[in-house]
Amino acid sequence: MKLHVQGREAYAYTGGKGFDPSLPCVVFIHGALHDHSVWTLLARWFAHHGHGVLAVDLPAHGRSAGPPPADVQAAADWVLALLDAAQVPRAALVGHSMGSLIALEAAARAPERATHLAMVGTAYPMVVSDALLALSRDAPLQAIDKVTALSHATLATKPSYPGPGTWLHGGSRALMRHMLQGWPECNLFHHDFSVCNAYAHGLQAAALLQCPATLILGAQDQMTRPQAAQGLAQALRAQVHTVPGGHMPMAEAPDQVLGVLRAALA
């Protein structure tokens, strides 16, 4: 659905059902150079099981107008403004990768509005190597290829996402290219990676949190390695779940992620 957030048009996928703000709300926040479509299976499940779902396109990503948020804090403010626009007082915040940092920061900025925090494929600090930052700046298409290869643990994820017959590497590569082309005013890939790399407020944010936190980590994740989330997990006193796969657990282990989230958000 379309919303008006901070004076600009914003889009949130509602899981195939009309959005009802009176239902317990789950907000899904995507990662770098992604959009809401990385969440569609989970979004559909929660939307058809008693929740209102807002799987957002962050500004300058997909259907939401730009420019992109300057940093994680600005993105968190945008998420909270989106809740206002949707007339949602409180919500569970679920984020992937860069989106997990945004969810954390939003939950810290308005602790009374976060019922739950779930961080998928996360690490803190979310350091992006100088080499990868430079590649995303100088040769974003090459960087997309490299990140696609790094993000997937196998060449044969079953049952694939969003359904059988999908080549996950190809789908991921096409989505990132689509996002890159969709906001030609800047190099969105380098921007998003820089946002991840620059975020330094994670432990302070964790200390402000009032809701239960869950971390869902890919056992073979090469982008955000599971051990790089240990400090954050301790600071959050989070439940940590490791699922098979790499940096894209929603695509590589959709049923396992659903199982964890169902329990965490119950």
Partner 1 sequence: MAGFSDPGFDTLALHAGAAPDPSTGARAVPIHLSTSFVFESTEHAASLFNMERAGHVYSRISNPTNAVLEERIAALEGGVGAIATASGQAALHLAIATLAGAGSHVVAASALYGGSYNLLHDTLARFGIHTTFVKPRDIDAWRTAIRPETRLLFGETLGNPGLDVLDIPSVSALAHEHGLPLLVDATFTTPWLQRPFEHGADLVFHSATKFLGGHGTVIGGLLVDSGRFDWERSGRHPELTQPYAGFHGMVFSEESSVGAFLLRARREGLRDFGACMSPHTAWLLLQGIETLPLRMQRHVANTRQVVTFLAAHAFVAGVGYPELESHPDHALAARLLPRGCGAVFSFDLKGSRRQGQAFIEALRLFSHLANVGDCRSLVIHPASTTHFRMDDAALAQAGIGPGTIRLSIGLEDPDDLIDDLKRALKAAEKTA
Q: Which of 48, 129, 227, 263 binds partner 1 (CB under 8 A)?
A: 48
Q: How far apart are CA 55 and CA 51, in angstroms?
A: 12
Stretch that binds partner 1, among 93-101, 156-164, 192-200, 224-232 (CB under 8 A): 156-164
Q: Is residue 41 at the binding interface for partner 1, with CB under 8 A as the rule?
A: yes
Q: Is residue 28 at the binding interface for partner 1, with CB under 8 A as the rule?
A: no
Contact 250, 166 (CB under 8 A): no
Q: Is residue 141 at the binding interface for partner 1, with CB under 8 A as the rule?
A: no
Q: Which of 3, 10, 13, 69 binds partner 1 (CB under 8 A)?
A: 13
Q: Which of 21, 67, 89, 170 binds partner 1 (CB under 8 A)?
A: 170
Q: How far apart are CA 225 and CA 221, in angstroms?
A: 5
Q: Is residue 161 at the binding interface for partner 1, with CB under 8 A as the rule?
A: yes
Q: Which of 250, 243, 260, 263 is nearest to 42 (CA)?
A: 250
Stretch that binds partner 1, among 37-45, 75-83, 193-201, 211-219 (CB under 8 A): 37-45
As given in the structure block, the two tokens for residue 258 are 């659903």
Q: Which of 19, 26, 31, 45 binds partner 1 (CB under 8 A)?
A: 45
Place of tokens 């994670």: 202
Q: How far apart are CA 103 and CA 92, in angstroms?
A: 9
Our CA dihedral for 165, 167, 171, 173, rounded to 10 degrees, sits at: -170
Contact 265, 118 (CB under 8 A): yes
Q: Is residue 44 at the binding interface for partner 1, with CB under 8 A as the rule?
A: yes
* Residues engaged in binding partner 1 (CB under 8 A): 13, 16, 35-37, 40-41, 44-45, 48, 62, 145-146, 148-150, 152-156, 158-167, 169-171, 174-175, 177-178, 220, 246, 254-255, 258
